[in-house]
Amino acid sequence: MVRRLRAERITDAVTYHGEGPCWSESWGGLRWVDMLAGDVLSFGEEGRIVRRHVGDVVACVRPRATGGAVLAVETGVALEDPDGTVHPPVLLWEPGAVRMNEGGVGPDGCFWVGSMAWDGSEGAAALHRVRPDLRWETVLEGVTVSNGIGWSPDGSRVYYNDTPTGRIDVFDRTPAGGLTGRRTFVAPELEHGDALPDGLTVDSEGAVWVALYGAGQVHRYTPAGELDTVVEVGARRTTACCLGGADLRTLYVTTSREGLAPDEDPAAGSLFSVRVDVPGLPVLPFAG
């Protein structure tokens, strides 16, 4: 039987295109991005939201093993020091038709970041692996909208979303940390409309939580690909999710109001949360 939960709205509509929530003890809690504004948001004292501008676009933020953060900016990767200093980015390509979109850090300590064309052109994007020394390589080409990526608890499987495909794919992780054996893990289904898998996270049981853009839902799929939980979110454009809090049992969900009229879906752009039974996995830090 599928369990149904309802997320609580915990902020106002503070982002235009909220994305990439990430909980880390190293930076004292939750950070997420207002991607197209180029801002990183976090909770300050007494729940006050702190907003910091880092560039024209910031698609993803993850902690560094040495403190600070690694950031996927418009066309590259930038390092933030523990004191908040952000260094000029290493560019993976020149600004133009394609921008960064989403990413995560794997058991290899590398920053895996993907892209999309500004106009959404099919097959124009890619997934890249940025090593701790900031050398990088393209690991997957012909992508349209590179989105959620996450690793199983033992690091042997990698889950990945190219949103327009309508499915979550899974790869086997090679001894060298690469990807092989791509196949469909699950193709989410909705009662109405197409399912568009966006950001995802993996919990300590190896289940995959995925935000379904446009559906106002987050689904949990067991390692066997069975749907067992649906979280209803009070804004349709659910973009990403993570598990955080002191016990890693709070599911945080970001939402977007990109493309909406000012009076349409008033809660869009807010952050939502709900308590769940199974804790998440501690976020893996970038080794650089």
Name the DSSP letter for residue 248.
Answer: S
Q: Rounded to an integer, what distance in angstroms lies between the CA atom of residue 178 and that of residue 176?
A: 6
Q: What is the CATH number of domain 3-275?
A: 2.120.10.30
The residue ranges of every structural domain in the chain are 3-275
Arithmetic mean of pLDDT, 64-90 = 96
pLDDT digits (tens, 9 = 90+) for 245-267: 999 999 999 999 999 999 999 99
The CA-CA-CA angle for residues 254, 259, 265, to 5°, reads 60
225: helix, coil or strand? coil
Angle at 284 between CA 50 and CA 203, to 5 degrees: 95
Q: DSSP alpha helices (H): ranges in 127-252?
A: none
Average pLDDT over residues 77-104: 96
Query: How far is the C-alpha of 87 from the C-alpha of 231, rounded, in Å?
Result: 38
3-state percent helix, strand, coil for the chain, nearest multiple of 5: 5, 55, 45
Cα–Cα dist 229/110, whole Å: 31
pLDDT of residue 145: 98
Which residues are tagged catalytic?
A: 198
* 163, 198 contact by CB (below 8 A): yes
Q: What is the pLDDT of residue 19?
A: 98
Q: Beta strand 3-6 with 227-232: parallel, antiparallel or unpaired?
A: parallel
Label residue 176 by pLDDT band (50, 70, 90): confident
pLDDT tens digits, 19-60: 999 999 999 999 999 999 999 999 977 788 999 999 999 999
Two tokens, residue 204: 């300590």
Cβ atoms within 10 A of the Cβ of 81, count?
13
Q: What's the confidence (pLDDT) of residue 178?
A: 85
Q: Output the pTM of the full model.
A: 0.97
pLDDT value at position 236? 97
Instruction: Please state the rounded mean pLDDT for residues 7-19.
Output: 98
Mean pLDDT of 148-177: 95
Q: Output the average pLDDT for the chain.
A: 96
pLDDT classification of 221: cutoffs 50, 70, 90: very high
What is the per-residue pLDDT across 122-162, written as a single tens digit (0 to 9) for each? 999 999 999 999 999 999 999 999 999 999 999 999 999 99
Q: What is the pLDDT of residue 202?
A: 98
